[in-house]
Each structure stands twice: as C-alpha cells, then as structure tokens.
C-alpha cells in the first residue's frame, strides 16, 4: 500500500536519502525544508512529490503547512521529523541566542510539527511519527552541549507520547544516527552562530547515507521504538547504559571531531 510521507529537512543528508528511497517505492513524498531550490531538485527524482518549504522554528509556518497538507491529502501516513542542526563549540563560547536556535530547530520544531499532525492521524487512528535524534541524544559529548541537550529532550518527549498512544494504531519511532556521511558537521553552528564549514574526520569515515536511510526505513516498517545506526560509536550507547564509568573514561579520550 502506497503511503503519504512527510519529511522535514528533506533538502540534504539523511532527509534527502529517505525521500528518494521512499519515492522509489512509489510513495507520495512531501518535501519540506528551508531551501525551495534544493527541494525542487530532489523532487525530480521522485514520481509523486509535493514541495512544501518550511522553517520548523516558525510556528505560524507549521500551522499553515499542516493545513495545506491536510487539505491536499486528507491524511498523513508517516511524519519524519528530520530537520535539525548540529553544534561545534565549547559551552562557554556559545551564545545563549545560538543555544536557543539549536533548541528551536531540533526540539521545539519537531514537537510542534508533531502536535500539529497528531490530530490528523488520530482522526483515522493510524500513522507513524518518526523523530530524528542522534547517538548524542543518548550521551553527552564535547562541543555538542546544546545539540546533545536538544536530542536528549527528544527522547523524553517522544517516549511520553508513545506511552500515551499505546492504545491506538499510531506508532512512534526515535532514530539515533551516529557518524553518517552527510554535511551535518560542515553545517553545524559555532559559538557565534556561524557555520563550522569543516567536515569532521569521523563524519567523513561514517557509513554511507543511502545505507543509513535503508536501515531507517526497515526499522520504521518493523515499528521499532528506537533505531541505532552507525559504526563503533553506537557501542558507546550500550557502554553508557551499563558501564557509565567506563563510558566517561572512553569519551574523554575520543576526538570530538
């Protein structure tokens, strides 16, 4: 059965890869992001798509976009909250305004769109809500204090939501990518809000983004509550859970870039 799938942050990276992969399956893909030109270029690879520019940090845009989608399609099968931005700065160097930007995009943008879409799914009692977290959403890491905090918050919100929806046919999945070959480190913000403009070595050696997208799609199809994707860094999630002292020993020696 073909689905209506709404993806934010669809202009690049994991969002782009998910859009193209889902599109190849014959699904209708709603492409959202801040750069319309990027979305239109990606739409040429998808037979059934709808370009819907959206800045998730703006609540009025979320309201209007959701109304547009409901009017056009009447329902949404899968919402993938992928829009996000990373950080590369020490805590004492990052301004409060930059910190708020990270929280607005990564946390509030995700939950505000989810809250807008949820009533549409509840009307038909079906759907899947996907939130993009990070391995850094399971543990703290240097140069990523606000980023990690925003992703930790994602887990608290969506776990609560999934428990509230336990008696419905609406599923919730949180995705935790590790090091994936995307430009997330290049687009990360420094302490003054400028782009980092540098590819982390770990990112460069990460798993291919297409491979990541395929693993996410399989995990969503299985209604997994959490999906972990990456290389050896994913082991740190389990070390933190079971051996917190060992985690701190290792994390203090890992190159944050």
Active site residues: 147
Determine if residue 27 is left, alpha or beta; phi over 0 gives left, psi from -120 to 50 gives alpha, anything else beta: beta
Task: Give the DSSP letter string of 205-256.
Answer: TSB-HHHHHHHHHHHHHTT-SEEEESSGGGHHHHHHHH-HHHHHHHHTTS--
List the beta bridge partners of residue 29: 5, 49
Of the candidates 235, 183, 144, the residue with the CA atom closest to the CA atom of residue 17: 183
Instruction: Report the distance separating Cα 29 and Cα 43, nearest Å.
Output: 9
Contacts of 127 (CB under 8 A, 6+ apart): 75, 76, 77, 78, 79, 117, 120, 121, 169, 170, 171
């Amino acid at each position: 059965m073909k689905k209506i799938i709404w993806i934010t942050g669809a202009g690049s990276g994991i969002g782009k890869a998910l859009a193209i992969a889902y599109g190849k399956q014959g699904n209708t893909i709603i492409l959202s992001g801040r750069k319309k030109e990027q979305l239109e270029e990606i739409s040429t690879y998808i037979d059934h798509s709808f370009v819907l520019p959206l800045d998730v940090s703006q609540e009025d845009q979320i309201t209007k976009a959701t109304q547009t989608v409901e009017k056009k399609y009447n329902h949404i099968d899968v919402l993938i909250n992928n829009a996000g931005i990373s950080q590369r700065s020490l805590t004492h160097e990052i301004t409060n305004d930059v910190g708020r930007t990270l929280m607005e995009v990564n946390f509030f943008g995700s939950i505000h769109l989810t809250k807008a879409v949820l009533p549409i799914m509840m009307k038909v009692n079906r759907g899947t809500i996907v939130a993009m977290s990070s391995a850094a959403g399971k543990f703290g890491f240097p140069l990523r204090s606000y980023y990690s905090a925003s992703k930790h918050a994602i887990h608290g919100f969506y776990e609560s939501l999934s428990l509230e929806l336990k008696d419905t046919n609406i599923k919730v999945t949180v995705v935790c990518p590790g090091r994936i070959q995307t430009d997330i480190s290049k687009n990360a913000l420094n302490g003054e809000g400028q782009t980092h403009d540098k590819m982390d070595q770990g990112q460069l050696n990460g798993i291919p983004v297409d491979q990541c997208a395929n693993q996410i799609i399989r995990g969503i199809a299985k209604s997994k509550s959490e999906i972990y994707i990456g290389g050896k860094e994913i082991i740190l999630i389990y070390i933190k859970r079971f051996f917190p002292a060992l985690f701190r020993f290792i994390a203090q020696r890992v190159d944050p870039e």
